[in-house]
A and B are shown apart, each in its own frame.
Chain A
Amino acid sequence: MAINTNRPTSPHLQVYRLPLTGIISITHRMTGVMLSAGLVLFVYVVSALAGGGESYDTMQTVMNQWLFKLVVWGFIYALFFHLCHGIRHLIWDTGSSFELETLNRYAMIELAASLVLTLMTFVWGHYGL
């Protein structure tokens, strides 16, 4: 089947400034892809635990290097953002809250909520400082 590659694209990303809702929408997708990649780390952590005390301690040393700590915190923030916007998608699926004003208000709520949840996790104390 021939595919026409010369079709118009909309919105044209080089000349169109995305509104807040658009930025959040593409961020939802990007965080989804990054979280999927991050699942490899989860497999590593749980496998290290299954391997016994020694492999667990090695895993903790690795995961507590600053680079990996950054990745874990990035993962947690991305997770909460994806969760908050995901709930938004579930609300949309019921057919409600498509009004422009609601869209923008919810966008701000999502951003604030994901930050607060990340902060709460931090304060929760399991992670040390």
Chain B
Amino acid sequence: MDYRTPLSRAKGLGSAKSGTGHWWMQRITAAALVPLTFWLIKFLGLSMTAPYQQTLDWLVSPVNTICIIAWIIAAFYHAALGLQVVIEDYIAAEGPKIISIWAVNLAFLFLAITALLAVFRVVSIG
């Protein structure tokens, strides 16, 4: 017996209440991260070895600023989405599950804002 109204069926929301949104965003961010990984590797490489001014100059160049910002948004979002699936798979109890998911979401939102703020500060120095 299906208790769902025709409208909810038409919207395709399902038991997760958000339809395929989560799955789809996981794929979109994944596809975006494939090319953007290059900028992370480059940035990490510079940060580990290059002098301050060189890393600074690299990051304030517009293409690099844009790509690192795009990487931050995609990567932190992708991480939160992925960890949510892991939590849903391994934590059976409803309460702890919901609390863990929200804790992860808030933690990664906070981390992403911190990283973005740092990039903006770098741009304002450079």
Residue numbers of A with Cβ under 8 A of B are 1, 3, 5, 29, 32-33, 35-36, 39-40, 42-43, 45-47, 49-50, 52-53, 56-57, 59-60, 63-64, 72, 76, 79, 83, 86-87, 89-90, 93, 121, 124, 126-128
CA distance A63 to B44 in the complex (A): 11
The B interface is mostly helix, strand or loop, or mixed, namely helix
> CB-nearest residue of chain B relative to A53?
B52
Q: Do residues A50 and B48 form an inter-chain contact, with CB atoms below 8 A? A: no
Q: Do residues B44 and A72 form an inter-chain contact, with CB atoms below 8 A? A: yes
Q: Do residues A124 and B45 form an inter-chain contact, with CB atoms below 8 A? A: yes
> CB-nearest residue of chain B relative to A41?
B44
Decide if B92 is an interface residue (CB 8 Å cutoff): yes
Residue numbers of B with Cβ under 8 A of A are 27, 30-31, 33-34, 37, 40-50, 52-53, 55-56, 59, 75-76, 79-80, 82-83, 86, 92-94, 108, 111, 114-115, 117-119, 121-122, 125
CA distance A40 to B76 in the complex (A): 10
With A87-B34, A126-B50 already in contact, the answer to whether A36 and B83 are too (CB < 8 A) is yes
With A33-B83, A33-B86, A46-B115 already in contact, the answer to whether A57 and B52 are too (CB < 8 A) is yes
